[in-house]
Each structure stands twice: as C-alpha cells, then as structure tokens.
Amino acid sequence: MRSVEWHNDRLCMIDQRKLPWDLELVDFATYESVIEAIQNMTVRGAPAIGAAAAFGLALAAQQNSTHDLDLLRRYLNTAAQELRRARPTAVNLMWAIDRMLPIVNSSDVASASDLRDAILTEAQVIAEEDVAINKRMAEHGAALIKDGDTILHHCNTGMLATVDYGTALGVIRMAHEQGKKIHVLLDETRPRMQGARLSAWECKQFGIPFDIIPDTASGYFMHRGEVNIVLVGADRVAANGDTANKIGTYQVAVLAKENGIPFHPTVPTSTVDLKIASGAEIPIEERDPAELLTPYGMALVPPDYPVRNPAFDVTPARYITGIITEKGIIYPPFEVGLAAAKK
C-alpha cells in the first residue's frame, strides 16, 4: 500500500487524520481537493506532499477538457501556482511543481492530449523515484545503527510521510529488516500527535519494538543513557545545513548535543534548498489555534485563551552530526557537501 497513488484516473491517498483508528483511502478528482488535503493534513510529510502536488497537476489537466493547447497551458500554470501555495515550509511541494512546469510549457508537446499524458507520466516518475530514493537513504542510514541500539524519533517520517518506505523511519525499518535488534522511542509530537498516532502505527505494522514517550521526556531518556542515536526527517534544509522540521525537533537536537548523542536528519536531496542561505530564511507555517484549544474535538483549553501554534522549528547546523541522503551521509562543512549532493 502506498500513501499516495494514482488509480483509475484518480489520486488515491491514505487519510492520515483517521489513523491509527481507521485506515481510510480517499479518492481525489480535482486539484482543488488536493490543495485542501495538503492544508488539512489528510496528506503530510514533505515527500508525500510533493508527489500529491504533482498528481494534483495531473488532475488539473484532466479537469480542463479543452482541445486548445495554449488554453490548457494557461489553466495549468494557474493551478500550479495555487498548488504551490498550499503549505509554505515543505520545499518538496515547490520542487515538484517546478519540475512539472517545464513539461507544461514545453514546445515539444504537440497537443492538449499529449500534454495530459506527459504530465501524468512525470508525476508517476516522481512517485517511483521517491520510493527508490527512500530505500537508498535507508541503506546509508542503517549502517549507522548497531545491533541493540535504541533510537529516538520525532514526528512521522515513514511510508505515510513519503510515497512509500520512508526517510528516518525508513532507516529504522531497514535496520529492523536487516535483523538488528533495535528499539524505538517515539516522541508523541504534539499537537497533532504524529509520533504517537502515525509512527507507532507504522512500527506496529512492521513489528518494530517501540515505546511512545511524552515530548518532554526526550531529555530524561537521553540523560539516563537510554538513547544511542536520534533520527528525524526535515521539510527543508538550507544551504548551510540548518534544518526545518516538525516543531519540537530543535529542542531534541540541543538535548542530543548536550548528551553526546548523534543527531541525524534523513532527507532526499529534493528537500535541500540551496536558494536559502540559512534557516533564518525558511518560512514557518503557523497553524489553526484549534489544534491546541480543541484537539480532536476535545475542549482542553478555554476558547478565549490566546494561542501560538508554529508547525515547524529550525535546528541550526551546529547541532547536526550528519545529514542522511540518497547520495550518502553528508558531514560538516554542510555548505560543501550539500552543494555537491545537489549536482
């Protein structure tokens, strides 16, 4: 099963809001519905969002039945810009759209029908590449994990956050499949509980031993010597190695540094944004206060209380041991290694 997949002229995605209670597959027939799914986190995770956006553009091509190639191109360019704005932090969204637009505007395409076919083909290529890239990352990262290790993981970076297999959880899955006896501590990852709901669900599917821990307990387990390595994902990596990831990652990185524990983001090179010099330039999404006031419909806080709800934070490169990519593990100086990996 894939989290994002094209099926019978529709985009099919797992509704991640329903897990772990229900595994529900949802069909999407319009690019506008894909935008809504990205915004409301039916689909989440940088690589999965990128693939969803690419397929969203394929849906846009189907929605417009014109035979006029120029009219279709104008329509698709408008749809592409709307998809691009769906969420601001995850660079894979912009990367996927930027990869699709040269096809939309190519002078080599002879007809509207050919353009529709070419766009869908490219979206499917992006999805297949994601799976292959994840497995290569997993192989590189699994070499860092020793038999008997306990791994601390924040948020969700597995098959649900990608088309399939995963980034940081993909590394953990690969180590488990290699027969290494490992244990995973999963930060619950408030306020949307991606660790407790999604990462735990994935670990359970694959038989990987785990414990869910409060976000506030990471330092406790590190200080007790119960963590050997920290693995996280990322939604954007700046040219200097600063990394934006799910809120709470920064404090985990600081605690790992304090306790002498390796800290490794795991990202495809498509998540590296060399146009941004440092994490200070990464836009941070602020989400609906309701995620804190009434999570899953439960009124935990009076509705008139003020709320700040950033979805991401930035981990400065000085706290990062190495960045696991499909091209290998990149170590400081990150400016050099990241630039080389993007070539």
Catalytic residues: 235
Helix H or strand E encompassing 291: helix 290-293
- CA-CA distance, 123 to 331, in Å (whole number)? 32
CB 223 within 8 A of CB 258: no
Q: Is 164 helix (H, G, I), strand (E, B) or coil?
A: coil
Q: How far apart are the first and last CA of the chain?
A: 32
- CA-CA distance, 216 to 231, in Å (whole number)? 17
Q: Which residues contact 135 (CB under 8 A, 6 or more apart)?
A: 165, 170, 174
DSSP 133-186: HHHHHHHHHHTTPPTT-EEEE-S--BTTTSSSSBSHHHHHHHHHHTT---EEEE
Helix H or strand E encompassing 229: strand 229-232
For residue 20, say if its preceding peptide bond is cis, omega within 30 degrees of 0: yes
Query: 211, 205, 190, 215: which is closest to 287 by C-alpha?
Result: 190
CB 253 within 8 A of CB 287: no
CB 280 within 8 A of CB 239: no
Distances (CA, A) of 64 to 116, 120, 207: 10, 14, 45
